[in-house]
């Protein structure tokens, strides 16, 4: 197990260094991405077996998502792992087993790569976590993708009543689900000595980190990508609340491959919107108008036209404009998080595709493709956010 862990860590470090140096996509990932369909909304061919040991003969010989080579499974998990007054009821938790690369020859079975599912349908992560798929053949690993409670098909109380029982939606309960699941998988597959490596990104990465910390007797190591485990009040060093915005802004600069005037033009567009709103409020201060209500003006008309707002969505208050600006800012946040060198539907939960390097595409909309006056910049901002 120690040698397996050391080899895995070395391989991961090698790939990470290559990615930073070359900026290239791993060939295996390229192959999967080239075959990827535009959206999982149509879903993919996949087995519906309740048991683990069933091969998938319903696939398309590799033509499609990697989910086609996995089996869908369910396990009865406790709704409350920590109650001591009575035995907790259970719910059906979904997980996927992908065993085509698992090495079961010799004295010891291969390791278990365990994805700590986060806040979405687990099939989204199964198809997008190329890091696990790239190393599975080399390491002879069994891949397990566990779905987080209250998401996808893992609904303790059903989707309709979920909000009435949010007391059981916690990272502690989710980690207990995963710990129990690993115990059962090792028992069923008779692989008590297989090392377990947790994988996760974002909140899933936080879960992977905490999984290793809280259950070191179950998890031998963890890879946590973009896992903000230090982003809490009271931590040392203190969390910088502007750090995320700095990274988003970086993606809109020439250093990240975007148009050199992009970040500046975005700031100018936001400033035009803020200035127009403040001028309107200042003008209303000398009238009997409600201080929170904006008067009709050419600036607001230009803003509405630039963002192609519907007639029933007027910019009548400061909050309306602030909400519009926040919507545009959030679009840049998502494009930065999904600024991959290839088209992907991952960051949009499979509902739509972002183009390759979406931040660069957005920056072109507000620089090369837009006039530089107030109306042009706001229209460019709207087009950029619409990417």
Q: What is the per-residue pLDDT for 314?
A: 83
Task: State the Cα angle at 347 between 343 and 350, rounded to 5°.
Answer: 80
On the question of pLDDT at 249 being above 90, the answer is yes
On the question of pLDDT at 260 being above 50, the answer is yes
Give the C-alpha distances (Å, rounded to integers) separating 217 from 4, 183, 220.
Answer: 16, 11, 7
Q: What is the per-residue pLDDT for 290?
A: 65
The C-alpha atoms of residue 321 and residue 303 are separated, in whole angstroms, by 9
Highest mean pLDDT among 49-58, 62-71, 167-176, 306-315: 167-176
3-state class of 18 per DSSP?
A: helix
3-state class of 141 per DSSP?
A: coil
3-state class of 252 per DSSP?
A: coil
Size of the chain in residues:
387
Q: Exposed, middle or buried, 49 (CB in 10 Å: 0-12/13-18/19+)?
A: middle
Q: What is the per-residue pLDDT for 288?
A: 61
On the question of pLDDT at 110 being above 60, the answer is yes
Percentage of the residues of the chain whose pLDDT score is greater than 70:
82
Max intra-chain CA distance, the chain: 85
Please write the tens of the pLDDT for every residue from 196-208. Answer: 999 999 999 999 9
On the question of pLDDT at 37 being above 80, the answer is no
Least confident piece of the model among 30-44, 58-72, 302-316: 30-44
Q: Exposed, middle or buried, 207 (CB in 10 Å: 0-12/13-18/19+)?
A: buried
On the question of pLDDT at 49 being above 50, the answer is no
What is the DSSP code (8-state) at residue 68?
G
Please write the tens of the pLDDT for every residue from 365-376. Answer: 999 877 889 899
Q: What is the per-residue pLDDT for 81?
A: 96
Q: Which residues contact 179 (CB under 8 A, 6 or more apart)?
A: 211, 215, 218
Q: What is the per-residue pLDDT for 293?
A: 81
The count of other CB atoms within 10 Å of the CB of residue 386 is 12
pLDDT higher at 8 or 58: 8
The arithmetic mean of pLDDT across residues 106-131, rounded, is 93
Q: What is the per-residue pLDDT for 56?
A: 37
Strand pairing class (112-116; 142-146): parallel
pLDDT higher at 287 or 346: 346
Helix axes 298-306 and 374-385, enclosed angle (nearest 10)? 30
Percentage of the residues of the chain whose pLDDT score is greater than 90:
64
pTM flag (> 0.85): no
Mean model confidence pLDDT for the chain: 83
Q: What is the per-residue pLDDT for 291?
A: 61
Q: What is the per-residue pLDDT for 59?
A: 33
Is 350 within 8 Å of 43 (Cβ atoms)? no
On the question of pLDDT at 255 being above 60, the answer is yes
Q: What is the per-residue pLDDT for 369?
A: 72
Least confident piece of the model among 26-35, 167-176, 333-342: 26-35
The arithmetic mean of pLDDT across residues 245-262, rounded, is 95
Q: What is the per-residue pLDDT for 295?
A: 87
Label residue 24 by pLDDT band (50, 70, 90): very low
Highest mean pLDDT among 33-37, 83-87, 254-258, 344-348: 254-258
3-state class of 9 per DSSP?
A: helix
Residue 232 has phi, psi (to 5 degrees) of -135, 150
Please write the tens of the pLDDT for every residue from 269-316. Answer: 999 999 999 988 888 777 665 667 888 888 899 999 999 999 888 888
The C-alpha atoms of residue 158 and residue 156 are separated, in whole angstroms, by 6
Q: How far does CA 30 lie from the centroid of its chain?
A: 19
The C-alpha atoms of residue 131 and residue 127 are separated, in whole angstroms, by 11
On the question of pLDDT at 40 being above 50, the answer is no
Q: Exposed, middle or buried, 345 (CB in 10 Å: 0-12/13-18/19+)?
A: buried
pLDDT higher at 42 or 241: 241
């Amino acid at each position: 197990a120690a040698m397996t862990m050391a080899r895995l860590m070395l391989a991961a470090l090698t790939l990470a260094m290559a990615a930073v140096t070359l900026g290239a996509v791993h060939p295996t990932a390229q192959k999967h991405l080239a075959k990827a369909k535009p959206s999982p909304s149509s879903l993919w061919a996949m087995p519906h077996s309740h048991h683990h040991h069933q091969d998938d003969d319903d696939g398309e010989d590799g033509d499609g998502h990697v989910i086609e080579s996995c089996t869908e499974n369910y396990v009865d998990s406790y709704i409350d792992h920590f109650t001591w007054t009575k035995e907790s009821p259970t719910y059906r938790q979904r997980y996927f087993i992908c065993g085509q690369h698992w090495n079961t020859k010799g004295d010891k079975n291969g390791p278990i790569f365990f994805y700590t599912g986060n806040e979405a349908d687990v099939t989204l992560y199964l198809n997008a976590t190329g890091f696990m798929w790239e190393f599975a053949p080399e390491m002879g690993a069994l891949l397990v993708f566990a779905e987080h409670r209250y998401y996808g098909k893992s609904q303790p109380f059903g989707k309709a009543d979920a909000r009435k029982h949010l007391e059981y939606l916690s990272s502690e309960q989710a980690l207990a689900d995963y710990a129990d699941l690993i115990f059962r998988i090792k028992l069923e597959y008779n692989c008590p000595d297989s090392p377990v490596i947790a994988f996760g990104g974002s909140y899933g990465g936080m879960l992977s980190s905490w999984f290793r910390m809280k259950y070191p007797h179950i998890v031998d190591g963890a890879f946590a990508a973009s896992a903000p485990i230090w982003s809490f009040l009271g931590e040392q060093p203190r969390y910088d609340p502007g750090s995320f915005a700095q990274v988003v802004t970086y993606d809109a600069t020439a250093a990240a491959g975007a148009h050199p005037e992009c970040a500046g033009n975005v700031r100018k567009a936001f400033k035009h919107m803020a200035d127009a709103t403040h001028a309107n409020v200042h003008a209303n201060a000398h009238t009997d108008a409600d201080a929170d209500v904006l008067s009709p003006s050419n600036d607001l008309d230009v803003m509405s036209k630039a963002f192609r707002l519907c007639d029933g969505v007027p910019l009548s208050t400061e909050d309306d404009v602030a909400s519009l600006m926040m919507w545009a800012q959030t679009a840049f946040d998502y494009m930065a998080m999904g600024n991959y060198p290839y088209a992907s539907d991952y960051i949009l939960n499979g509902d739509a595709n972002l183009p390759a390097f979406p931040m660069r595409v957005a920056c072109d909309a507000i620089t090369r493709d837009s006039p530089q006056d107030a109306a042009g910049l706001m229209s460019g901002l709207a087009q950029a956010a619409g990417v």
